[in-house]
Structure 1
Amino acid sequence: MKTAVLICPGRGTYNKTELGVLGRRFPDPAMLAGFDARRSELGQDTLCALDGAARYSMARHTRGDNASALIFAASYGDHLSIDRDGIDIVAVTGNSMGWYSALACGGALSPQDAFEVVNTMGQLMQDSLIGGQLIYPHMGDDWRPDPGRRAELLALVAGIGARPDHALALSIDLGGMLVLAGNEAGLAAFEAAVPVLDRFPMRLPNHAAFHTHLMAPVAETGRARLSPELFGQPDLPLIDGRGAIWWPGASDAHALWDYTLGHQVTETYDFTHAIRVAAREFAPDLFIVAGPGTTLGGAVAQSLILSGWRGIPDKAGFQTTQTEAPFLISMGRDDQRALVTKGE
């Protein structure tokens, strides 16, 4: 049996190529029907209607109230599909919104309660839509660490964020990428100050200023609507956006609620450090990235390189190691999915 850390993706991972993924892969129709019954009660489009649409719509499918629920369902469905006779999941983590999915996969929230958390926070984010996000690389195409470049960019961010009427901060430390969030003045100032690299700096559509102090009103409303009673002890170790580990049988459920609807919403989400902790504390045979999509795989690989995992120095080294013995499994890829699931 192989050990694995399960990694749940965040916003931006359900795209055109993922349309229909729930219909094809979600393994528990009754559970999906329960999610949709709740959305119908709230007057929202059902997941089956969104996932079964004739065509993908950026305006419709990337809205926070729709995207969050679609992504959670796809991730949790993948979690259910893993062959537990051959794979021992030793810890769970996630990126940004993926933390809510991780709470369900790790047993700290029931699937239904996790869906309530995801759906509520997604709706609150969409209703407020405070600020925005952009993404910019600090690694080159070879994925070699460049700490000097990263420090320069973060100094620039801090300088812009200190200007009057400008808000800008590191939202997510995402492997070789910096996800920045702020108000329009802050984002525009950063875009004007850095060189254009391929498609970067790239604004993220329908994204708010996640993981910054601008989200304090959303966090406050979320805490009012979502009871601490929803949260319990995890069944598996959970690695949060600070790299802290919530251990089964030793976690304070109220503190878990407080982190999830407090720090996790308003402070930087350090996904790179979460992966570093996963690698060093659990030393798994595999890192399994749940769907939807495959875009988080690169950030996981970059985070492992930055962590010195197996001495891999760059993209070429990662590709060589991955070819010889695949250790990073993206469930959004059919060929890799087959390595960790029973026949579907």
Structure 2
Amino acid sequence: MARKTALVVCPGRGVYNAGELGYLARYHGDRSHIIAGFDEQRRALDQDPVAALDAAQRFSVAKFTRGDNASALIYACSYADFLSIDRQAVDIVAVTGNSMGWYTALACAGALSAGNGFRVVNTMGTLMQDALIGGQMIYPFVDGDWRAVPGQCQALMDLVRDIPDLYVSIHLGGMIVFAGSEAALAEAEARLDPVDGRFPMRLGNHAAFHTPLQAPVSAKGRAVLGVDLFQQPDLPLVDGRGHVWLPKATALNALWDYTFRHQVLKPYDFTQAIVSGMREFAPDILIVLGPGTTLGGATAQALIGAGWQGLESKADFQTVQDRAPILFAMGMDDQRASVVTTV
């Protein structure tokens, strides 16, 4: 592959599942010194090391989906994947992420060191797990060909308006991630028509991320994670509003405040992050870091929703991918091989 410019996308919670067990050992045995640094932090807090979690003989939903475990494990996998990108073949022009992936993006872009990035993600994951305020549920507004169903998105927005304590948590391509109290989610669940035998889908061990319900977590995070952790990024960052933070021009106090206040308490617009990243930097390709592969679909849906280069459907996207791929998911071996260093 000739050298291409790329927007790197960092995944959030829910991407390390049974199929990803052993991801660190499988792809990043040569980066054990980096993982060991993360695990020093975990041991100091009497938490299971991420290397030990990754080496488990079987996947436990109850254990691996906990915020204090999932966040740390996903960060370690994603950050190691970022280091594996062949910079001779790929020119990274910007970094973005989904939800928890914002913390990873901060580290990949250099606004946080690797260790401080891990400290941030582990602290926030632990605080959210300890509080576990509310929950999340996901529902699509696109059909099987990833075309928007007329009126569906507005109907979902009306639901948020009608049900107390129900919020939009994440705009995720062709889906809306709701968050709220148990009562609010139960009412929404009862009012939504089943789709494909999967939706509405509750997300286990997920709190009401990106809503005002997380105010106590936001306050605790700001109290223990200071602005001194941050530094000027080396690469542009696209946040969960689509706002771009530039190297040598980032107000660190504002970045800190966004990260631990706005990003925790307000909706995360992953769709806008992708669209802004593509429009601002016009990369040749997108690279979705591992683990997992589920964020690739949402990323493609964001492109389709914006009509990127004439894309109107899943079929259009697949045609482009077959002819000259624009999206590479590092959780898929064949796509990973095109972007990782072989030395």
| Fold-level similarity (TM above 0.5) | yes
2 CA distance for matches of 1:291 and 1:131? 27
Partner of 1:164: none
Partner of 1:276: 275
Partner of 2:50: 47
Partner of 1:228: 227
Kindly provide the CA deviation profile for residues 148-177 of structure 1, in whole angstroms up to 9, marking residues without a partner as x: 21011111121113xxxxx10000000001
List runs of 5+ in structure 2 lacking aligned partners: none
2 CA distance for matches of 1:236 and 1:80? 14
Q: Which moved more, 1:137-146 or 1:118-127?
A: 137-146
Partner of 2:186: 188
Kindly provide the CA deviation profile for residues 80-126 of structure 1, in whole angstroms up to 9, marking residues without a partner as x: 00000110000000000000000000000000000000000000010
- 3-state SS of paired residue (2:170): strand
Shift, 1:308, TM fit = 1.1
Partner of 1:205: 204
1:4 aligns with 2:6: yes
Which amino acid in the other structure matches residue 247 of structure 1? Answer: L
Partner of 2:27: 25
1 CA distance for matches of 2:194 and 2:160? 16
Which amino acid in the other structure matches residue 243 of structure 2? Answer: A
2 CA distance for matches of 1:311 and 1:145? 15
1:330 aligns with 2:337: no
1:92 aligns with 2:90: no
Partner of 1:245: 244
2 CA distance for matches of 1:50 and 1:324? 39
Counterpart pick for 1:143 among 143, 146, 154: 146
Q: How many residues align?
A: 339
Kindly provide the CA deviation profile for residues 223-261 of structure 1, in whole angstroms up to 9, marking residues without a partner as x: 001011001111000000000000001100111111000
2 CA distance for matches of 1:66 and 1:144? 35
2 CA distance for matches of 1:66 and 1:149? 35
Shift, 1:38, TM fit = 1.0
2 CA distance for matches of 1:153 and 1:132? 17
2 CA distance for matches of 1:113 and 1:279? 28
- 3-state SS of paired residue (2:151): helix
Kindly provide the CA deviation profile for residues 179-222 of structure 1, in whole angstroms up to 9, marking residues without a partner as x: 00000111001001110112100000000000000001000000
2 CA distance for matches of 1:71 and 1:285? 26
- The residue correspondences of 1:77-88 to structure 2 (distance < 5 A) are 77-88=80-91
2 CA distance for matches of 1:323 and 1:179? 30
Give the TM-score normalised by structure 1: 0.97
2 CA distance for matches of 1:19 and 1:147? 39
Which amino acid in the other structure matches residue 290 of structure 1? Answer: L
Partner of 2:17: 15
Shift, 1:147, TM fit = 5.2
Partner of 1:267: 266
> What is the alpha-carbon root mean square deviation over aligned residues?
0.8
1 CA distance for matches of 2:332 and 2:22? 14
Which amino acid in the other structure matches residue 302 of structure 2? Answer: S
Partner of 1:125: 128
- 3-state SS of paired residue (1:120): helix
2 CA distance for matches of 1:254 and 1:156? 36
Partner of 2:175: 177
Give the TM-score normalised by structure 2: 0.98
2 CA distance for matches of 1:323 and 1:261? 40
Kindly provide the CA deviation profile for residues 266-292 of structure 1, in whole angstroms up to 9, marking residues without a partner as x: 100000000000111111111000000
2 CA distance for matches of 1:225 and 1:115? 14
2 CA distance for matches of 1:160 and 1:140? 25
Counterpart pick for 2:64 among 61, 73, 76: 61
2 CA distance for matches of 1:58 and 1:150? 31
2 CA distance for matches of 1:146 and 1:284? 29
Which amino acid in the other structure matches residue 295 of structure 2? Answer: L
Q: Which moved more, 1:28-37 or 1:239-248?
A: 28-37
Partner of 2:106: 103
